[in-house]
Structure formats: structure tokens, C-alpha cells
Structure 1
Amino acid sequence: MKKRRRRGGGASSAFDRRVFPILLAAAAAAARSTHRRTRHGSDATVARLLRRALSRSRPSLHPLPASLVAILPFLLTSSSASVAALSCEVLGAAALQSMEASETLASDAAIADCLARALRRGSQRVAEAACNAIMDLSASSAGREHLAGSAVLQSILSTECSKSASKANKSFYLMVDTLVLMVNSCQVDSLHNLQQDVVRKVLPLLHKIWKNVDTLGSSTDCINSKNQLQRKEHEISEAIFRLSMNIACPAHLEPDEVRRSIFGQSVSDYENFLLNYWEKLTYLITRKQKNLHVDSVFTSLLNEFDPKTPDTIIQSLVNGIVSCPAIASDELDISSFLREVQGSLGAAVKYRQDIRVVRTNDQCDQTSIGYAMEEHFFDDGMTFQDADAFVEKCKDAFKNGFSVALRGMEFRSEKIAAIASAVADLFGQPSVGANIYFSPPRAQGLARHYDDHCVLVWQLLGCKKWMIWPDTKLLLPRLYEPFEPLDDLVDDCGGRMEILLEGDIMYVPRGFVHEAHTDVDVGGFEVNSTVDCSLHLTLAIEVEPPFEWEGFTHIALHCWMEKHWSSPFVRSQEEVQTSLFALLLHVAIRLLSKNDATFRKACMIAAKLPPSSSCTTTHLKALRSNQRSIFDEIIKKIDKSCNFKEALMCVELAVREKNDEPFQWMCWLRHLPQHGGTNGQVDFCNILGALEELLEAVSCNLEQALTEFTDFKSKFCRCVVYEDACESFEMLLQMYRTTRNQYTRGMLALHRKHEI
């Protein structure tokens, strides 16, 4: 007996987009019944209707009827796992129909919230379906951002806390893929809202996955491509970096604790250094060897490098490190940095950028005046994909007289990061760099040179002989300026020799030529002995342009302009004119600073001085008074010596040659708050247009312009408020620190050896 064929039956039957949501809503409502049998039957009906929608041709889900969108949150939170999972599938299928559909559904707050609840319900089937729906909704960048900013990310983090990389399966891979995608799609500001305790729990898991991603990708559980981890290594490392940016490092030191460890217990010793040696003279702090073990900062540093043998030191230095890509000095938006380095976070170490393996000796090629040249063990730009082989090559190089110099230790060691941060606080600077140098006996690593930053050299192991020559130019070298040849800077008879023993610290100002040797006669050398080797840490106090006294002066000019000229009572034309005169005065101040040592010195307005007490009040007042006196001296120099014609000639040359390179130093001024009107604002990132406008405004009557500029300059010098500049200076410093701290925390997380 033949069955009667249903008209249009099965998947080919008519699909009424208007009636279907009504039927689905009615069945879903019935499923909420308290009667168990009724609820079970209604759940089955809802599931059947959802399967029917999925079996239809894809256009039937595009666009998804508004009535169906309205009940999706209701369906996603169904107590039936089948209904919830199938609802996720319908949502994903609809999202794939178009970018517009994806963005619309992803931006629906109710849907996002219910997806988050679906992830937390404990059902593996529902969690997988929810993850797949999230992936489908993330087809567009807007969709990703909407979901990443919702409760979805926090739910994935919470769910992932109980996972283990050793139990890899389809569900595990899918959850990790979704987590990484959401973290990397999330706006940086939104990452602040994540629960830190949950993030701390999931980071070790991600770190272990990242370190073993190749092994996991070829796991026996990976039956097909759907069971494999789809995210790339660099995507996982970026997620680790992003999640770690706002988590405080466990290692933290107060500035005063580090001050005592470096300069001694007496506050007066530190204050004496600031007043009499800082940026002027070398300064040696010697330690009694028998007391080193009671200095917790020193002992924690030394133990960081496993000082048993040269091999163990190199192993602790080099093993497991990744490259630290440079961040622009005036970058205050970590999002811009992440976009710039996309795809390269967590990459292999790069020679010269991260590490140098170098030696200098009399047998190397020499310059025309006889200075020994550096010989490098590796080629410039070389990367090291095989970490184990790289470690072994470094060990071999060390045995052949090469020193190992590793940069960016503040990004690779939490203890060193804590010390560097405290030193930055002490000197009122955004950050302090840290390098480590490990040299074999009777060796010289770096050739004779000078630095564009001040250095604190901390001898951790062994001893080292230093030769230092004072800065004969008197003008402190600035960051990023070209280095001068040493021909006229060094008199071989005028150098000073210092020998640093374990625990000793030496301060070398920027511009002071120096070289260091381990040819101190302390006995023979054995391969597995550290007795004749030298290990020292350098803390580089880099004074960024905004935090020199010149920078403070530019800030003072900006604050005065904001306070006195950007007001509703100033006419639009007058505002533009004064803004152009301010621009010209910025240029004149810069020209004045090129030949005046005071402008190049570090401004320490924001330095965290030791707590006041009856015995130190006098010293603290002297330090603060010294800062105010420097500013008053600078203002007098500006009033007397800032030259209108010289500044204008500089502007004319730039405009004529269409070359704004000499004015790139002004870029950081864009970070200062602009509270006033828009008429007089200058785009410091596109300065050529403003320079052209300035030139046009003054060229028609130079004599009048000179008179008006002189009057403008005099008003500034009479009325500038030191305290206003201090406030803006500290605000800018905090902005710089925030970005540097985010970078440091992210890089430390990539170097952290998590214990699972």
C-alpha cells in the first residue's frame, strides 16, 4: 500500500516567514509550563521547528524576521539544551547571510546577554553552539567589537577557568579560539572592566597553550580540522598581552625602599647626590661585602640569574625570552601600538633589538685613532627560532670571550621591573630601562662609547674595571640625537678608573665616555666557575623630551595660553594671532635650548622625594627650591635671548623646502589638554600647515610682527604661573606612565613562567 505524498512536504514545503515566529513563540511559551509532560512535548516541538528553519534554503533566514529576533533571547535561555543549542545555530546561520545581519544581531544587547548565559549553563553542547554562534556573529569587525564589549567575554573567561590544556578536545579548542578572538577584538578601555581574579586564573592556561600550540595542534584528539586550535601563535600571545595590561604585577617596591638599597639608609646621601652629582659628575657607592646578604633588593636581583655557573647564568638570561618590539617614545595609546605590531607579539628574539653577543679587544679592527672596534657573534637582524640552539650558541660564544648583553630586562623580569619602576618614581621620569651584561674573564664587551641617558651600574657578580672620561662638551646629549665621534671627546690621560666589586653601584651621567673590562687580576678561570666572570645590571634613566627643562617650558607656555587667551572674551582673530605667536615662541625656545645646558637637564618636578621629617625638611626644601630657581632662570633667558628673526628663518626654510623634519620634536605637544577654543589650535602632527599660516601672517609687516611678538613674549615671561605648569607636567607624566606600564605588564606576561 502506497503512502500519499504530502504536498510540498519535507524541506521543500512552503516556509511562511510571517507565521513561523508566531508558531515558534507559542510552542516556546508552552515549554515554560510547569507540567513536566507538557514542557517536554513543547520543547520537542520548538526543537523541530528550529530544525525546520535550519533545513530551509539559507535565504529564508535573511533577513531574520524581527519577530523571530525578538524571541531569540527567550529561546537561547531555554531549559532544554536542544532548544538552546538549535537557537544558537539559527542565530549563527542568520548572521552569515550578510555583514549587515551580523552587525545587527551582534549589537542586540539582549541576544549578547543570553549568549553569555548560554556559555555559563554547564552544557557542553550548548557551550559549543554558543561559541560557534559567536564566531559567526564575529564575521564583521563591528560584530566582533559589539560582542567583545558585552558580557560574552567575561562568561568565556569564567568558563575557561576550569579547563586544562592537557584535556584538549573539540569543545576545549573551540572555547579557546572564541576566547582569543573576543579578547583581541575588545576595545582596550573595556578590558579594564574584566574581573582581575578571573583573568589571573585563565592567564596560566593561555600561556601554556601558547608555549605548546604546535603540540596541541597535532594532538591525537585532533581527528579533523574542526577539532584543532584555529588561532595562530601570535593571536594567542596578543590575547595574553591584552589581558595582562591592566593587572598589577605581584612584585612591587616602594621608591623609598629602592632609594635605601641604592643610595644608603641616610636620606641626606640621596639628596646630596641629586644636588651635587646628578647630570654633573660620576658617583660611586661602595658596599661592605659582608652586609650584602641583608639587602633584600640586591639578593633578589642576583638570585634571578641562577649564579651557579656561567652556563646556568646564560640559561637563565636567554631561555624562554621573546622579542620586545619598540614602542614609540610619544605613543600614549596602547591600541595604536597593538595595531602597529599586529602579528609580531611573542616573536623570536631579534639580534641587536633584544640582544647583543659582542667582544672588543686589541686584535679586532681599529679605527684611525686606535680605538678597538666591536666584533659581533651574530649578524644584524638575525632571529632565533630554535630557542635551545640559540642558548647553546650563546654559551659557546661566552667561552670564546664574547659578552652577552640583553636589553629590556624590565620587560622580562618582574623583580627588575619593580626596581626600574621605583627608580623612575625617584627621578620623576616615565620609565627606566634595564640591561644586563654578562662578561667572561679578561674581556671587554662593548667598545668605548657614551650614552644619551644617565646610567646606574649595579655590580651583581664578580668585579669590573671601568675607565670614564668627563663630558668635555658641557651640553648633555639628548635622546635620539646622532652620536658624535669620540676623536675630540677623549684624552687618554684624563680618564678616571673605578673598580666595582659585588654590590657596588656607580652613576655615569649621559655624555661621559666610558669602557669596561674584566681583566682585573682575581685568579684563573674555569669553564664551570663564575669567580672571574662579571654580571652587572644597568638602569638607564632616559629623559624623554617633554621631561627636560625645555619640555617643562613648552608646557608652561601652553598652560599660559590656555588660561589667558582661550576664553570667550578673546576675539576669534586675536586668538589665531596669539596662537601663531605661541608657535613661533615654541620654535625660539627650541633654538635657544640647543646651546644652553640648562634646558637639556632633567626636570624633576614630579620626583618622589623621601618622606619629610624634622631632620630632612631643610634638604627637601633645598631640592624643591632648586627646581623653582631653575625655572626662574630659564624664563629670564627666554625674555632676554629668544630671537624672533632666527626662529622665523627656521620657519621660512621649512616652508620653502616643504620639510617638517626639523619640527618633529613638537609632536608630543599634541598630548597636552586643549580646553580652549578651536580657532587657535595647532595640529602638531601636521605642523607644516601651521608654519605656512604663521609665515603668511607675519611676512606682510615684519617690523610690526617683531613688536607684537616681543610684547607677547614679555607678557608670557611676566605672567606665567609655575604651579599651573607643574600640574600639567604631572598629568602628562601620568599619561606616559600609563602606556609604559601597560606595555611592561603585557611583555612581562609573555615572559612569565606560569605554574599550572
Structure 2
Amino acid sequence: MENPKGKKKRKRKGRGGDPAAASFDREVFPILLAAVAPASGPNQRASSSSSAAAAAARLLRRHLTRSPPAPPLSPLPATLVALLPLLLSSSSHSVAALSCEVVGAAALQSMEADELLASDGGVAGGLARALGSGSRRVAEAACNAVMDLSASPVGRERLSGSLVLPRLLYLFSQVESISGVVGSRSEKCQARVSDPNKWLYLITDAVVLMLNSCKVDKLRNLQPGLVRKVMCLLYEVWSKVRLLESSADCSNWKDQFQSRPYEIAEAIFRLSIDRACPGGLEPDEVRKSLFGQKESDLENFVLMYWESSPYLYRRKQSGLEGDPVFTALRNAFDLTTPDAIIESFIQGLVSCPAIASDELNIDSFLHEVHDSLGASVKYRQDVRVVRTRDKTSTGSGIEEHFFDDGMVFLDVAAFVDECKEAVKNGFSIALRGMEFRSEKVAAIASALADLFGQPSVGANIYFSPPRSQGLARHYDDHCVLVWQLLGRKKWKIWPNTRPILPRLYEPFHPLDDLLDDSGGRVEVLHEGDIMYVPRGCVHEAHTEVEDGESEVNTSANYSLHLTLAIEVEPPFEWEGFAHIALHCWLEEQTLGCSSGSINSKLEEQAPLFALLLHVAIRLLSDDDPTLRKACMVAAKLPSFSNSCPTSHSNSLRNRHMSTFIEILNKINNTCILKEVLSWIELAVKGKTYEPVQWMSWLRHLPRQQHGDAAARSIDFCDVLGPFEELLNVFSSDPEQASADFTNFKSRFCRCAAYDDACKSFNMLLHMYRTTRTQYTKGMLGLHGRHRS
């Protein structure tokens, strides 16, 4: 029927348009509400409460057992969702367990229900209480519900940030031991897994899933004691599962876990990130051990030798026993026999996947490498077994490798035996990433990075048999401190013949054929001696045995040394400091200008001109030695922290400031605009980001801009568009654009503030160090360190 205006009347829907929901509200809701309602008075009989609970359990069971295809409770009635927190917390084990099953069933039936329930704080709290109910049946049902809700990314994210995670960890921490449960290697595997074992598998899977779904920063709120116990148990489970993974006789056991070994490894890594490493080595002790007892020794080293010439710190043998750092290092290895030495640093290794040079988000790193965490060591990436023979006419020699490139060593025992055999045949073992495998080495590397104001220091261990040479003659793209731990080794070092220092991530140049094989500096390092080799200096080393000495099974005739590599990342060279100074100055200019300024056009072009100047600074560094050197304005030399700085510290600060002024003058006086525009034009035509990847780290610099100013700032991960704008500006009016850019460059070089750049430099260094430290702690956790 139509109304007078000719429009059809809409049929008004009654309340509870969903018949299933209306039926639930009429028939089921009252009974469930009665089951969870508190006693109204002291005279209420327990039997009535028990009857209500029994009735509620029957109703929940009936809904759960309804046959498909019609979902029993889809969509979930709002009244049921409101009651779930109480039902999950019911004192009736049947009601609580069945309510957990309802939650899990609903989550699996629809994504909407999953997100609704996982986002409900009351439901999450109810599940947490169910996990701690004390009833195995309820806890298992709650654990299964957590797994079901975690089927979606939203569900995992919501639950990992709730009370569910700490409750799961507490339940898992109550497991006294997993021996006899995981890793049974009986001749015939059990066909049926016992109930206690099923519970362990379930709770382990839930813990791993929740930990890997949680943002790293949220894990800091967990109780340290709880984290420590969970880490120990997870490591024990992971170790057993890794053994089973390589065995073919018990696939039954391997299939009990839903979690893969790399997922358990990721959970261990995450829990390890914020663990405090045990003390024992103070940074000041490391400084004294590496550079000498006087505070001025390190400063003298920096002023006289750093990045310029080799330096040898000859240690007195009588004083080595009183050196806590040297003693701690030697105690990290079993030095009784060559075989024992090999076993002490090869056993129990896992691979250390590389972290991107500009990666400052550990969550992002974990997302990229999660399926490779805890993998077996890989040849060349982690370890090399090499010898150099058949020297050429230039004397450099040819490297021979014992294993094939990319080989993965799944059988650890077999790998150790092969390494022992290789050493007997004149091969040396070079193991990378010792700072990720030993807490003592990690402490030394961290202290050294702090002293030199750099993000991190790498550490490798080298073990060589008598009368052998491991690596062929070469140079490094990082500075190296060589620390002789056992035996002695003869080194030959040539000065750097190139004016430009090699930098990280750039191709290596072939060695100069004119290198005088009879020249070079020769030094023999004895136990405790430390030698510094600057980046770019060609060197080689080999072991020798004096006449009359025996080579057979005598550790003293072998050489064991540690190298500490001070790797200068691009942001922390003087070129990087110049980029940071430009960024800081531009930020101040943008904040200080008014929207009604006469030079509003120039202010709009400022980000483009700054981008142009960034490229110019980069091109300058290709030929300027100063820009490639390490910037040490953040170095923590001892006298810098004293109230009365020494003349050495003043000298260093004055040197830093004069270097900065020198760089600004070079930037201002160098006219390479045409070269810069040509470089930009090639980048735009190529439509590839590879040539401009070097500037991606600039995105990490702190910004103060807001509103329109922020909108005009450059995205350093996407510069091809701004490059095109720059080319258009210079093509439309070349003379005016050149004059404006020259004026912009002059203002920067005249007004850039050293202290402002230092502040941002330190902030960036802190971000880099934080991420590198998190990575180091995570890898130490996977090597079984700091679990106690």
C-alpha cells in the first residue's frame, strides 16, 4: 500500500532481527546468566548454583555439537559476548571449559567474530583467568581458544598485548623439566602421546605464538624472573627439537609441535633482547687492557695512529695473569689440545643472519629473517676453513677452501670432526661474529664501540696450525685490532698506498702489482700482544715453529687470535656528519621562517636545494680523504668525562671542530654543480633506486617540522620525484636557479652549527647502538648465553 505521497512504506523491523540471536536471548541467556550470577544471600543453597551450572553446561555443549553447515552461534549474540568474561571465569570447570570452546569455535567460524572477541578486553581477561584456574581441563581449553583466536593477525596482536601472555608464560614456567617428554630416542617411537606430553606441546605452541606476535617493546613489561625461567625451558625444548629435526627415526615426535624450530628460536631471540648481560668486564678495564693503563694512552693512539699507521702494543708476559679481560678471553676456550680448542668454539653454533646497515627497527628485522633464525652455520657467511698456498709472482698466494661455498652444516658432530681433519692438513678456521656467540667478547666489543663512538664492533676468531697461512694477502674496509691469545703469529703489513680510505659496502680494489714483497713491516705477535691495522693497509699472517720445537699435539705451536673490527658505518664518517649538519640547519631554517616571508619561493625550494647539496657532499667524498675518515665526536674517551679536561681531550675537540670548518670551506668553495646535475639526470633516466640507496639512512634523522613544512620535507627513500623537480627548476631558469643554490649553499656553510650537528649525531648513534645491541643479545640467547 502506498502513502498519500506515493511512497511505499518501509516494513519496520522488530527488535532482534536475527532469529538465532532472539532465540538465544529468550532461551539460553537466562540460564547462562543464572549460572554466573553471584549468590543473593547466605541462605541460597549450593545445589541451586550447581544445577544452574549443569544446565548452562548442557546448553553450551548442545550449541557446540550442532552439526554444520549452520554455525551454532553465528553471528555471536551481543548478550553472549557480554556474558563471556563471567562464563570464562566460572567456578564450574565444565562451564569455564565449554565457554573457552565456544570462543574458539566462534573465532574459527568467521573473521569478524575472531576480531570481535580478541579485541574485547573482558574476553581476554576471562581467558587469562581461565588459564590460571588450576584445572588442567580449563587451562587446556583456554589455551586452545587462544590458539584459535590467534588464527588472524588482529587476534594475535590483540591477545599478545593483553594479560593472556604473562599468564601463559607463568603456566609454562611451572614445567619442571622437558627431559623424557621431548626428544625421546627410543628404538620405536610411541604411537600415542600421553596427556601430560600433549599439554606441554600445547602450552609451548601457545607461548611461542604469543611471544612472536608481540612487539618487542611490550616484552619489557614482563617480570625478569619469569622471562629467565621461560627462556631456559624454551631453549631446552628448542635444543631437543633441533636434534629431532635432523633425525629420520622419530618423525612422530616432530609432528607433535605446531611450532617450527625457527619459530621457537624467534621466541628465544625476542625474550633475550632486553636481558641484562651479567657483569664482569667494565669498559675502563677494556680500555686499559687494549691500550694501556694511562688515560692518555688511548687519546695518544687516536691522535697518532688511528686510520693512519699500524701500531703494536707489546704486553709483558708477567702482567698477563693480572689482566681480567685477557684472562676472561682465554678462559672462554679449552686450550689443552688443538682438538679441544676447535671443540670449544665450534660446538653449538647457529648462523647469524646479516642485519641491514640502516635497519633501526628490530621488529622489522625479525619479520625479514624469522624463518632463518637458529639455522645451522653456513659456510663463508659464518665460518671459513682456508689455507693459502702456491704464491704468485707478486707474492700474494691463492686461497684454498676446505668446504664449498654456501654449504650448511646440519650435523654438528661431523662438522667438528671435519674441521679437526682440516687443521691437521694446514687449514685455518676463521669464525665470524664472536660477539654474537660469547658474552665476554660481546662486552669487549661493546666497550670498544663506545670508546670510539661507533655503533658496533665485530669480532672474529682465527685458529691456525704451525707453518701455515690462512687468509691470503689482503686489506680490510674496517680498522682491526689483533689480539694474540695463544702461541705466536708473524705479520707483514704494508702502508696504504691509496689516499682514499676504503669504506664499508664498496667493492674491493685489486692489490697493487707493484707492492714490494720484500718490503713492509714485519712483527711477531706473542700471547697478549695487540696490533692495530688501519683499514686499507695490506697485510698477511702465518704461523712459524722455531727450530727444535715439536709440532705434534702441542697447543703452544698453534696460533689463536681474536680480531676486533671497528666498522665505520656511512653515517658516522665525516661525510655523514656533514649530511647531519645540513639536515639540522635546514630544520632550524624551516622552523624560523614565516609563511608571509618575501623569500617564500626560496623557502619552498629549500628542501630541493638541500637534496642537491646532499648529493654534492656525497660526490665530494669520492675524492676527499677527510670526508671518508671516521667522525669521533661521540667518542667516550676517559678525560672527556672529567671535570678538568686534559690537553689531549682539548686537542681532540679542537681537531674535530677544525675538521668540520675545513669540510664546510671545501663544500662552499667547490663548484661541481654541473657534475651533480648530470649525476641526478642519470639517476632519473635510469629510474632505479640503486644509485641513491646510500642516502636512505637520512630518513632516521629527527625532525622538528610540523604541518606544511613537514609536507615539503624530502622522503629519502623516494627521491626520484624530487630529483625530477630539481631538473625542472634548473631547466626553466638555469642562471637564477644556480644563483639561488649558490646562495643557499653559502648560507649553510656560514651558519651551520657544530654543536647542533653533534646533538643529532649522538641521537642517531644511540638509535644504531640500541638496535645492534638488541641483535647481539638476541643472538647470544640463541647460543645459550645469559639464560641463568
Contact residue 439 and residue 785 of structure 2 kept, 8 A: no
For the pair 1:78 / 2:90, whether they are aligned, the reply is yes
For the pair 1:413 / 2:476, whether they are aligned, the reply is no
Cα offset for 1:206? 0.3
Given the alignment, which residue of 164, 179, 191 partners 1:166? 179
Within-5 A mapping of 1:263-662: 263-362=291-390, 366-367=391-392, 369-488=394-513, 490-521=515-546, 523-567=548-592, 569-570=594-595, 573-611=601-639, 612-613=641-642, 617-662=646-691
Deviation string, structure 1 residues 353-411 (Cα, Å, up to 9, x no partner): 0000000123xxx5564421100000000001111000000000001000000000001
TM-score (norm 2): 0.90
Structure 2 CA distance for aligned equivalents of residues 94 and 226 of structure 1: 29
Given the alignment, which residue of 664, 671, 678 partners 2:700? 671
Structure 1 CA distance for aligned equivalents of residues 134 and 72 of structure 2: 31
Contact residue 353 and residue 369 of structure 2 kept, 8 A: yes
Structure 2 CA distance for aligned equivalents of residues 217 and 623 of structure 1: 55
Contact residue 395 and residue 517 of structure 2 kept, 8 A: no
Structure 2 CA distance for aligned equivalents of residues 217 and 357 of structure 1: 26
Q: Which residue of the partner structure matches residue 6 of structure 1? A: none
Cα offset for 1:662? 2.4
Q: Which residue of the partner structure matches residue 686 of structure 1? A: 718
- Count of residue pairs brought into register by the alignment: 739
Structure 1 CA distance for aligned equivalents of residues 409 and 244 of structure 2: 22
Structure 2 CA distance for aligned equivalents of residues 462 and 77 of structure 1: 67
Q: Secondary structure at the match of 1:64?
A: coil
Structure 2 CA distance for aligned equivalents of residues 487 and 158 of structure 1: 63
Given the alignment, which residue of 54, 57, 66 partners 2:64? 54
Contact residue 244 and residue 745 of structure 1 kept, 8 A: yes
Deviation string, structure 1 residues 3-53 (Cα, Å, up to 9, x no partner): xxxxxxxxxx99922221232112321678764333333322222222122
For the pair 1:16 / 2:23, whether they are aligned, the reply is yes
Q: Which residue of the partner structure matches residue 137 of structure 1? A: 149
Q: Secondary structure at the match of 2:532?
A: strand
Deviation string, structure 1 residues 572-628 (Cα, Å, up to 9, x no partner): 643331111111111111111111111111111111111555886222222222211
Moved more, 121-130 or 450-459: 121-130
Given the alignment, which residue of 724, 727, 731 partners 1:695? 727
The residue type paired with residue 749 of structure 1 is: G
Q: Which residue of the partner structure matches residue 5 of structure 1? A: none
Q: Which residue of the partner structure matches residue 288 of structure 2? A: 260
In structure 2, the CA distance between the partners of 1:274 and 1:642, relative to structure 1 (3 Å rule), is farther
Structure 2 CA distance for aligned equivalents of residues 126 and 544 of structure 1: 53
Q: Which residue of the partner structure matches residue 743 of structure 1? A: 775
Q: Secondary structure at the match of 2:710?
A: coil
In structure 2, the CA distance between the partners of 1:660 and 1:90, relative to structure 1 (3 Å rule), is closer
Structure 2 CA distance for aligned equivalents of residues 268 and 491 of structure 1: 36
In structure 2, the CA distance between the partners of 1:217 and 1:24, relative to structure 1 (3 Å rule), is farther
The two structures, once aligned, show a CA RMSD in angstroms of: 2.3
Deviation string, structure 1 residues 252-304 (Cα, Å, up to 9, x no partner): 63322210111111111111101111111111001111111100100110111
In structure 2, the CA distance between the partners of 1:149 and 1:522, relative to structure 1 (3 Å rule), is farther
- Structure 1 unaligned segments of length 5 or more: list them: 1-12
Contact residue 465 and residue 520 of structure 1 kept, 8 A: no
- Structure 2 unaligned segments of length 5 or more: list them: 1-19, 182-196
Q: Which residue of the partner structure matches residue 271 of structure 2? A: 243
Structure 2 CA distance for aligned equivalents of residues 504 and 32 of structure 1: 82
Contact residue 580 and residue 694 of structure 1 kept, 8 A: yes
The residue type paired with residue 37 of structure 2 is: A
Contact residue 283 and residue 506 of structure 1 kept, 8 A: yes
Deviation string, structure 1 residues 165-204 (Cα, Å, up to 9, x no partner): 1263111111111000111111223222222221111101
Structure 1 CA distance for aligned equivalents of residues 86 and 673 of structure 2: 72
In structure 2, the CA distance between the partners of 1:451 and 1:217, relative to structure 1 (3 Å rule), is closer
Cα offset for 1:558? 0.2
Q: Which residue of the partner structure matches residue 194 of structure 1? A: 222
Q: Which residue of the partner structure matches residue 68 of structure 1? A: 80
Contact residue 251 and residue 415 of structure 1 kept, 8 A: no
Contact residue 464 and residue 518 of structure 1 kept, 8 A: yes
For the pair 1:231 / 2:243, whether they are aligned, the reply is no
Moved more, 552-561 or 624-633: 624-633
Contact residue 441 and residue 532 of structure 1 kept, 8 A: yes
In structure 2, the CA distance between the partners of 1:239 and 1:613, relative to structure 1 (3 Å rule), is closer
Structure 2 CA distance for aligned equivalents of residues 199 and 477 of structure 1: 43
Contact residue 262 and residue 505 of structure 1 kept, 8 A: yes
Given the alignment, which residue of 101, 105, 123 partners 1:93? 105
Moved more, 552-561 or 704-713: 704-713
In structure 2, the CA distance between the partners of 1:628 and 1:30, relative to structure 1 (3 Å rule), is closer
In structure 2, the CA distance between the partners of 1:622 and 1:522, relative to structure 1 (3 Å rule), is farther
Cα offset for 1:90? 1.1
The residue type paired with residue 347 of structure 1 is: A
The residue type paired with residue 170 of structure 2 is: S
Q: Secondary structure at the match of 1:380?
A: coil
Q: Secondary structure at the match of 1:249?
A: coil
Deviation string, structure 1 residues 482-532 (Cα, Å, up to 9, x no partner): 111112462223300011000000000000000001025265344432010
Contact residue 306 and residue 316 of structure 1 kept, 8 A: yes
TM-score (norm 1): 0.94
In structure 2, the CA distance between the partners of 1:489 and 1:633, relative to structure 1 (3 Å rule), is farther
Identity, % of aligned pairs? Answer: 64
Structure 1 CA distance for aligned equivalents of residues 543 and 592 of structure 2: 63
The residue type paired with residue 635 of structure 1 is: L
In structure 2, the CA distance between the partners of 1:273 and 1:224, relative to structure 1 (3 Å rule), is closer
In structure 2, the CA distance between the partners of 1:613 and 1:651, relative to structure 1 (3 Å rule), is closer
In structure 2, the CA distance between the partners of 1:292 and 1:730, relative to structure 1 (3 Å rule), is same
Moved more, 407-416 or 248-257: 248-257
Structure 2 CA distance for aligned equivalents of residues 33 and 217 of structure 1: 59
Q: Secondary structure at the match of 1:16?
A: helix
Cα offset for 1:60? 2.1
Deviation string, structure 1 residues 547-583 (Cα, Å, up to 9, x no partner): 0000000000000000112456146643331111111
Structure 1 CA distance for aligned equivalents of residues 483 and 40 of structure 2: 71
Structure 2 CA distance for aligned equivalents of residues 660 and 227 of structure 1: 44
Contact residue 394 and residue 515 of structure 2 kept, 8 A: no
Cα offset for 1:737? 0.8
Q: Which residue of the partner structure matches residue 748 of structure 2? A: 716
In structure 2, the CA distance between the partners of 1:401 and 1:73, relative to structure 1 (3 Å rule), is same
Q: Secondary structure at the match of 2:306?
A: coil
